[in-house]
Amino acid sequence: MRFSEKLKSVNWQWVLLGLVVVLVIYLVVGPLGMLIFCSFRTVAPGDPGPFTIANYLKAYLSADTYQLLFNTALFALVSLLVGVPVGVFFAWLIERTNTPLRNVGFALVPLTIAMPSMLYGIAWLLLLSPNVGLINIALKYLFGLEKAPINPYSIVGMGFVEGLRLASSVFLMVVGVFRSMDPALEEAAYTSGADVSTTARYVTFRLMLPGILAAAIYSCTTAFDSFEIPAVLGIPRGIHVFATKIYLASHDSPRDYGMASTLGVLLLALATLWIYLYGRATRRAESFATVTGKGYRSRVIDLGRWKYVGTALLFTHFGIVVVAPMAILVWGSLLRFYQKPSLALLSKISLHSYREIITFPWLLDSLKNTLILVIASSTLTVILSAIVAWIVVRTRLPGRKVLDVLTFLPHGIPGIVLALAFMWLYLRIQFIPIYGTVWIMVIAFTTRHLAYGGRAMNSAMLQIHKELEEAGNVSGASWLTTFRSITIPLLLPSVIATWIWSAMHVTRQLSISVMLYSPKSRVLPVLIWDLWLSGEVPYTCAIGVMLMVFLAILLFAGRALAMRRARQF
Amino acid sequence: MRKMVFLAWMFLVIILFLAQFFTPYALAQASKLTPLEEKLYQAALKEKELVWWDQHSLKEAGEVIKEFNKKYPGIKITYFEGTTDVTLEKFFAEYKAGRASVDLLTAGSHLPFKKENLLTDLSDIIKDVNYPLTFCTKDLSGTTVDFGVYGVAYNTGIVSPQNVPKSWEDLLDPKWNGKINIEPRLKVFIFGTEHWGEKWIVDYLKKLRNQKPTFSKGVTQTMTLLTAGEFPIAVSIYLHRVNIMQGQGAPVAWAPINPAITGGTSPSLIPKTASHPNAAKLFLRWEISTEGQVFADKIRFKGNPMPGSGTSQSRIMEKLGIKIFSATDWAFENQERLETLYCDALGVKTK
């Protein structure tokens, strides 16, 4: 057989699929293997040294580790105690009551998602500073207190801020459950003479419990993974959680590489536990059957005169959680150095920081790097996720379940740990020279977002009937042509949504970028972080405001595009 | 037609002739370079770029780069901001992995580099600009470009002139209870150990602990909070940050407490692993030249603080009647031990 004939006889479908499988294994297993490898060594990557369990002994026998565990657990608990009740309450208020303007509230409550966590932390630091923070000043004035009631430089303060941010995610997770809940059981309770509060306690919230539990576990995982808020509020006062300690152990002086890896492995184990619990909670949710096949409409509870209180609460929440942080950042960007807001300072505000920042030597490079990172990483995430989803849903390929699990695995890996693993791996691998370039971030973010992309594509793929692709095959189209011309266009709304989701997270997240950047590959979140550390508050706020505007445009453009495509199909 | 072609050729020749005067090299030539400078610049133009790690803020570094590029266009400088201990650690992490990327860095000490035989000889540029040898390492492989002076700063909007602390003991006055912020790396005490002695400092810090101070890591962030009025007094602050903030109209000033402490030498070095050694030498040469020093003093206020040197730091010291104590290498060698000892006395954790 001639070579060209041999080439023709190759089944490229399986070659491509094989390559994707190898790539996914390489992306996920390689870095984690290196992380575990480094945790058994006490020297820097590249240095000769024996294998040892010294790091584990040092970590487990040190009181500092248990303090760290306590701090992280308390931080997660406080953020949970703030985020879950707030998120659930507003989801209930908007979905199940007759509160006026609740539709506006639905659009406003989750807006914190468009605000990068680091900027959120900075804004709350300026709002909650014990002596110059507006909120503490207001509380002291209102209650005649001598000392500031909220201390942002504490685990509880940090958890409070994280909780406010998490409330939006909880809201979005729970609001759907409220909306799709079968009202039959509630109506049965009313028929039996139960009042609104008894029904809410014994029926509604019990039915909601698995959904709330899932949101709580998700929040817990997020809090354990959180780097930005503890970095802004905790590092200056020496208050650490796992994520910040890992960052400092691998970046600050003196560096402790082995300890960074060991703490990374420990955090990974905890995150895996949360993912397992999350899986169990969502699996059990099915048995509660909040959604049935019958047509129904959720009962709207009449709050009477209290409905106006509901509206007031909605807008107060929006004012405190969204408007106040954004306003303080805008205020900070208009001054030459940060001063607490006052009427006297109005004469001193100017656009000086914006004018200066535009000519800032690293802004263009950071923008260019961010753009490369966003486009490359989001596109790669979408392509890989779509192919993996196709393998999992459409083929009978042996091992496809393992591939599915592998792509989901990075969901359980905290960003800081994943970045550490990539750092170790590419410091060692000399023949792939991407250490210190923007490309190491591209593959780290791609790996990190495969889990979300995989889930989104799997669901979308399940909704497309196989017969559409079979029609293409019957008409003589190759697998690649069918995939490109039929499958991908049908998946397009999900593809766009996944791309936008990934782009937003890449632009917002600091924990991976701050671990992997070099001066040549500085991206916007790192530039903001560096400026903040330099004490350049006006510049930090100015870039932050511009970044938030960019994210908002991206969010709305993406939604508009996805909705347009969805209508076309 | 011929005339048109002739005119077009003439136009092209004139353009090419004029263009030579606007090349980066020609622009630099216009300001008369020394033979060494010229040689370095030509080589640097071929290297095209430079990776520089130092402890200046991004804004300050940006201004320095802009000024350097005015004289030496055509060299792209990438900058990383890190404290001198971070740059040192970062270099060795990369070096051991075979990926050293920096061309010029300021490190806490040149000794670890010397031990690994990694230092580039800088005697040529030092001699070329006649830089004082007292600001260089003995083997002329490192030069101190700028000087940090540590002391106490206060918010002029909160502390009235009659209440300004004038001695270290003044900070123990009960009226400052809960109102002092300390940068917890305690550099002022570490570099002042040879002046006060360990025992005096430990006793002093134990008394200062009773004042219930707050702690905020990072001098620049501490300055931001001091300016905003979060606390009235900040200890272990850089004088040059106070100058910069004052220049912007911020309500901060330097307390006339004797002595102020300078950390001595944090040398700028060019490791042998540098990919752009000529660009690095050219840049460092410019930094230590009179022109570079005057500019640095104007932008960063970190010139030689010793009396009579004419820098802004020196003038402020003279005006306030403050003496300067300069630490030796001993303080650097004992830095970690002293930090632990003093942090324990003050009851603070930094790591």
How do residues B122-147 score in pLDDT, each as one tens digit? 999 999 998 888 788 888 999 988 88
A362 to chain B: which residues are within 8 Å by CB? 58, 62, 79
- What Rg, from alpha-carbon coordinates, does chain B have? 24
Q: B156 touching A, CB under 8 A?
A: no
A175 versus B8: the higher-pLDDT residue is A175
Distance in Å, alpha carbon of B112 to nearest chain A alpha carbon: 14
Distance in Å, alpha carbon of A263 to nearest chain B alpha carbon: 15
Q: What is the mean pLDDT of chain A?
A: 82
A-B Cβ pairs (cutoff 8 Å, strict): 133
* Residue A101 and residue A314 in contact, taking contact as beta carbons nearer than 8 Å: yes
Contact state of A518 with B99 under an 8 Å Cβ cutoff? no
Q: Using CB atoms within 10 A of its CB, is residue A193 exposed (0-12), middle (13-18) or buried (19+)?
A: exposed
The token pair that represents B120 in the structure block:
């580039």
B72 versus A412: the higher-pLDDT residue is B72
Q: Which amino acid is at A422?
A: F
User: Measured between alpha carbons, how far is B198 from B189 in angstroms, rounded to an integer?
Assistant: 9
Q: What is the pLDDT of residues B235-283, one digit of tens each?
A: 998 888 898 888 888 899 999 998 989 876 678 999 999 999 999 999 9
Give me the residue from A44, A236, A253 closest to B216, CB to CB.
A236
- What Rg, from alpha-carbon coordinates, does chain A have? 25
Q: What is the pLDDT of residues B191-233, one digit of tens each?
A: 999 999 999 999 999 999 999 998 887 777 788 889 988 899 9
Give me the residue from B65, B93, B348 closest to A361, CB to CB.
B65
| Confidence check: pLDDT of A380 > 70 | yes
Q: What is the pLDDT of residues B306-332, one digit of tens each?
A: 877 788 888 888 888 888 888 877 887
Q: Which amino acid is at B347?
A: G
User: Measured between alpha carbons, how far is A508 from B302 in angstroms, rounded to an integer?
Assistant: 35
Does an H or E element contain A254, and which?
A: none
Give me the residue from A236, A252, A530 closest to B86, CB to CB.
A252
Q: What is the pLDDT of residues B265-277, one digit of tens each?
A: 678 999 999 999 9
Q: What is the pLDDT of residues A4-49, one digit of tens each?
A: 676 666 666 677 777 877 888 888 888 888 888 888 887 766 667 7
Give me the residue from A46, A253, A338 closest to B85, CB to CB.
A253
Model-level pTM? 0.80
| Confidence check: pLDDT of A336 > 80 | yes
User: Measured between alpha carbons, how far is B46 from B34 in angstroms, rounded to an integer?
Assistant: 19
| Confidence check: pLDDT of A569 > 60 | no
Choose the mutation target among B55, B57, B236 for the interface with A, i.e. most A CBs under 10 Å. B57
User: Measured between alpha carbons, how far is B12 from B17 in angstroms, rounded to an integer?
Assistant: 8
User: Measured between alpha carbons, how far is B275 from B256 in angstroms, rounded to an integer?
Assistant: 45
Question: Tokens 């997020």 belong to which residue?
Answer: A222
Q: Using CB atoms within 10 A of its CB, is residue B283 exposed (0-12), middle (13-18) or buried (19+)?
A: buried
Q: According to the model, what pLDDT value does residue A293 have?
A: 44
Question: Which H, E and C letters describe A498-550, residue by residue?
Answer: HHHHHHHHHHHCCHHHHHHCCHHHCCHHHHHHHHHHCCCHHHHHHHHHHHHHH
Contact state of B101 with A518 under an 8 Å Cβ cutoff? yes
Distance in Å, alpha carbon of B95 to nearest chain A alpha carbon: 9
Among A317, A391, A338, smallest CA distance to A112 is for: A317
B221 to chain A: which residues are within 8 Å by CB? 236, 532-533, 535
Alpha-carbon distance values, A479 to A474, B81, B177 (Å): 11, 51, 76
A430 versus A102: the higher-pLDDT residue is A102
| Confidence check: pLDDT of A384 > 80 | yes
Comparing alpha-carbon positions, the chain A residue that sits nearest to B65 is A361
| Confidence check: pLDDT of A297 > 60 | no
Among A426, A195, A170, A214, smallest CA distance to A321 is for: A170
Contact state of A339 with B227 under an 8 Å Cβ cutoff? yes
In eight-state DSSP terms, residue A132 is T
Using pLDDT thresholds of 50, 70 and 90, give the confidence band for residue B2.
low
Q: What is the pLDDT of residues B66-108, one digit of tens each?
A: 999 999 999 999 999 887 777 887 888 788 778 888 999 998 7
Q: What is the pLDDT of residues B12-60, one digit of tens each?
A: 666 655 555 555 555 555 567 899 999 999 999 999 999 999 988 888 8
Give me the residue from A132, A153, A253 closest to B86, CB to CB.
A253
